[in-house]
């Protein structure tokens, strides 16, 4: 029996996340999971009179809350009282981690009095029976998760020992294929890429370094699969990957969980089990060449200082170059004790001291907050009305142009029937008109989408005011760059930085792009 909910003056959102079971089902042609779940929740919301103001879509699949950034954002918003209820296809989508994670989820919903709504049942966090039912559902979900993990692990080890390929993608030089009449996958040689692998080994055996090999491959037009050019780390990995001599290497339990500063992290496991077996695939490199390369590498290896990879830049991935759009980098100059924000790609945009940029960003946030508050108090929507008028005028102009093109297209058919147009002229003319019609229809669709975003701006301001206040209030209470970064990301899509004049250290501009609630 469907739940009927009175959502008068209430705000609802939905949370979507794939499970491993969904990923496996997609590989067997059952369709994209998030799209199916979104449709199911929209249909349910329509039938119960609920308006879903925002969809939180988790793209990554993580075991814990700490590895699911969208879930973290949802919990923050729930704790801030933004939502009256959260729609999910099943409660297990919210927390499948350990008891600690389940407690965090349960407390967030209980203390904020936020309902959990599924197509089968609505859970009221302040109802003892619902709370017990909810916690039992999470407990059973955790048990199922552990069993799935155990079966997957046993299946992977079995496949590795049989010489099968267990990676999600094939290494460069090979294509992945399904083994006929049995479970699992193996690799077959990709001739074009295999020639590049042989060239790398040949160049290295001839005494050439990694940088020379990179430059040579890029000059010849070779490209890796996921970027535009080769790097030294890519070449180094190819030279040490035993898959090229027909070996399957798998590191079992390469990492283990450890608590550091109250957070569960993964660290390298000293007792890891490395499995190395003959693979079912054909080698690209002969054993003599492989051994020669490994001996050369042993002679070239030098000691390295351990690098601290923790986040140092609180504005990472938010601050963009106002000239080229690239993310700005944090650069340390040890000779003058200076830490600056710079664009590595655009030399015309002058860098600035990171503290100056950070301080001005907080000042700009305060100005944005003040502006939002004034407009909410005065119910000033003139900016929205102006944007809507521009949008409507643009759509009207495109519609008028579309009608003219359709008339011209109809006329080409008349001219063909009257034998004024030859068949070739008709095809050429009609194809041109059809392409123009397609382009205009695409522009109209884009404008309608933008109109929906404009209509959400007023509600966006109401939702952002308490969130911006939280960011400004909490930002200087912590020295943790990652925490500051998460605070900024909760209210900003990006910030454009522009500085043309190098003389004045404060003469730079920041343009803020607040998050628009879907």
Residue-wise pLDDT for 407-460, tens only, equals 888 888 888 788 888 888 888 888 888 899 999 998 998 888 888 777 766 566
Give the phi and the psi of residue 173 in degrees, each rounded to 5: 105, -15
pTM of the model: 0.45
Burial 328-361 (b: 16+ CB within 10 A, else e): bbbeeeeeeeeebbbbeebeebbbbebeebbebb
Assign 52 to helix, strand or coil.
Answer: strand
The H or E element spanning position 142 is helix 128-161
pLDDT one digit per residue (tens) for the chain, 518 residues: 444 444 446 889 999 987 655 555 445 444 477 888 999 999 999 999 999 999 998 876 666 777 788 888 999 899 888 999 999 988 778 876 666 777 788 888 888 889 999 998 888 877 877 777 777 766 666 666 677 677 877 888 888 899 999 888 899 999 999 999 888 899 999 999 999 999 999 999 988 888 889 888 888 888 888 888 888 889 999 999 999 999 998 887 666 666 665 555 666 666 667 888 999 999 999 999 999 999 998 877 655 555 666 788 899 989 999 888 888 888 886 655 667 888 777 778 888 888 899 999 999 999 988 887 877 666 666 767 787 888 888 889 999 998 998 888 888 888 878 888 888 888 888 888 889 999 999 899 888 888 877 776 656 667 788 889 999 989 988 889 999 999 999 889 899 999 987 777 778 899 998 886 54
Cβ-proximal residues to 320 (8 Å cutoff; 6+ apart), any chain: 326, 327, 328, 494, 495, 496, 497
List domains and CATH numbers for the chain.
12-157 (3.40.50.1390), 174-300 (3.90.1750.20), 311-518 (no CATH)
């Amino acid at each position: 029996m469907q739940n009927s909910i009175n959502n008068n003056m209430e705000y609802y959102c939905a949370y979507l996340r794939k499970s491993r079971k969904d990923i496996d089902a997609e590989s067997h042609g059952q369709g994209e999971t998030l799209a199916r779940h979104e449709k199911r929740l929209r249909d349910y919301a329509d039938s119960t009179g609920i308006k879903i103001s925002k969809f939180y879509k988790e793209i990554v699949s993580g075991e814990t809350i700490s590895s699911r950034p969208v879930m973290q954002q949802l919990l923050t918003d729930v704790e801030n009282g933004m939502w009256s209820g959260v729609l999910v296809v099943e409660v297990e989508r919210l927390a499948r981690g350990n008891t600690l994670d389940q407690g965090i989820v349960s407390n967030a919903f209980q203390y904020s009095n936020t309902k959990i709504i599924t197509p089968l049942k609505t859970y009221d966090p302040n109802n003892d029976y619902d709370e017990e039912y909810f916690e039992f559902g999470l407990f059973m979900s955790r048990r199922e998760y552990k069993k799935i993990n155990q079966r997957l692990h046993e299946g992977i080890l079995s496949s590795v020992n049989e010489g099968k390929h267990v990676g999600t993608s094939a290494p460069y030089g090979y294509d992945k294929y399904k083994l006929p009449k049995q479970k699992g996958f193996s690799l077959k040689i990709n001739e074009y890429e295999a020639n590049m692998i042989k060239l790398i080994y040949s160049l290295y055996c001839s005494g050439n370094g990694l940088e020379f090999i990179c430059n040579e491959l890029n000059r010849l037009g070779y490209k890796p699969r996921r970027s535009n050019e080769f790097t030294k780390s890519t070449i180094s990995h190819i030279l040490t990957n035993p898959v090229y001599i027909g070996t399957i290497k798998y590191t079992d339990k390469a990492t283990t969980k450890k608590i550091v500063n109250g957070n569960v992290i993964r660290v390298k496991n000293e007792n890891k089990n490395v499995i190395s077996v003959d693979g079912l695939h054909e080698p690209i490199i002969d054993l003599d060449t492989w051994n020669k390369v490994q001996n050369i590498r042993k002679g070239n290896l030098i000691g390295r200082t351990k690098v601290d990879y923790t986040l140092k830049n609180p504005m990472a991935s938010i601050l963009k170059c106002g000239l080229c759009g690239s993310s700005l980098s944090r650069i340390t100059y040890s000779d003058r004790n200076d830490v600056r924000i710079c664009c590595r790609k655009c030399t015309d945009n002058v860098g600035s001291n990171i503290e100056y940029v950070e301080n001005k960003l907080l000042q700009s946030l305060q100005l944005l907050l003040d502006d939002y508050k004034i407009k909410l108090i005065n119910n000033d929507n003139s900016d929205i009305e102006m944007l809507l008028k521009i949008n409507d005028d643009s759509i009207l102009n495109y519609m008028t142009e579309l009608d003219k093109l359709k008339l011209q297209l109809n006329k080409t058919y008349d001219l063909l029937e009257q034998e004024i147009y030859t068949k070739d002229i008709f095809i050429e003319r009609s194809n041109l008109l059809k392409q123009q019609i397609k382009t205009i229809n695409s522009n109209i669709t884009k404008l309608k989408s933008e109109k929906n975003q404009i209509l959400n701006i007023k509600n966006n301001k109401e939702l952002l005011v308490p969130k911006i206040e939280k960011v400004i209030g909490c930002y200087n209470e912590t020295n943790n760059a990652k925490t500051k970064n998460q605070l900024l990301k909760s209210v900003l899509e990006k910030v454009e930085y522009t500085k043309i004049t190098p003389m004045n250290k404060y003469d730079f501009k920041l343009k803020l792009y607040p998050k628009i609630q879907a």
